[in-house]
Structure 1
Amino acid sequence: MDAEALPGRDLFVVAKCMVPTDAFLLQGCLVAGGVPAVVADAHHVQADLMIAPALGGVRILAPAAFLTQAREILAAYERGDYRLDDDADVGVALD
């Protein structure tokens, strides 16, 4: 997906999701990778999921200077580079 520019802003749409939770997951991956990404329209869609297609989904935005890095991170996510195995040790269990 080519990044869509927001008029009058230095932010570009780097991804869209129909489910807000998916958008926040992608935003978390981007932020962890050093991209200052933000989520837009999540509250509208969360209030009424049926409006998501009309709005074009929940948008994940990133500054122009981070577009290449954002694309690389999103491609790695799509490839499954961040996937955990079912038996992966994710830390100490809390009792």
Structure 2
Amino acid sequence: MEQLALNAWLAAHPDVEQIPGRDLFIVARYMVPLDATLAQGCLVAAGVPAVLADAHLMQADLLLAPALGGVRVLVPQEHLPHAHAVLEGLARGDYALDDDRTYG
């Protein structure tokens, strides 16, 4: 993604924040580590390389969640639009399992 297009995309998505000095962007924050792990799994399954930051700290002591700002989901710059689309789909329930169907 070229710099001009990146700047325009970031202006339209003020919740996305760049990690200083890195090519990683915070695309989501979760107060529950399991929710962050689920989001990361959806991103990776969709082909978006995603990593979690602060997940282990929060699993050790959930009282740190407000101080740390939650578990951060990080993705590289070139995957920002796709990651945002996947996370919007997750929030809408696009990846929910059907309660009436048997899996296995």
What 5-or-longer segments of structure 2 have no aligned partner?
A: 1-13
Matches within 5 A, 1:40-59: 40-59=53-72
The structure with more helix, counted as a fraction of residues: 2
TM-score normalised to structure 2 length:
0.84
Percent identity reads 63
Residue 27 (str. 1) matches residue 57 (str. 2): no
Q: CA RMSD in A?
A: 0.9
Q: Which residue pairs with 1:65 in the alignment? A: 78
Cα drift, residue 54 of structure 1: 0.4
User: Which deviations, in whole Å up to 9, do the C-alpha atoms of 1:24-73 show, x marking residues without a partner?
Assistant: 00000000000000000011111100010000000000000000000000
Q: Which residue pairs with 2:22 in the alignment? A: 9
User: Aligned AA for 1:33?
Assistant: A
Cα drift, residue 3 of structure 1: 1.2
SS in 2 for 1:68: helix
Cα drift, residue 13 of structure 1: 0.3
Question: Take 1:19 and 1:27, find their aligned partners in 2: how far apart are those partners?
Answer: 13
The match for 2:89 among 71, 76, 82 is 76
TM-score normalised to structure 1 length:
0.92
User: Aligned AA for 1:67?
Assistant: L
SS in 1 for 2:66: helix
Cα drift, residue 90 of structure 1: 1.7
Cα drift, residue 87 of structure 1: 1.8
Show structure 1 runs of 4+ deviating over 4 A.
none
Cα drift, residue 6 of structure 1: 0.3
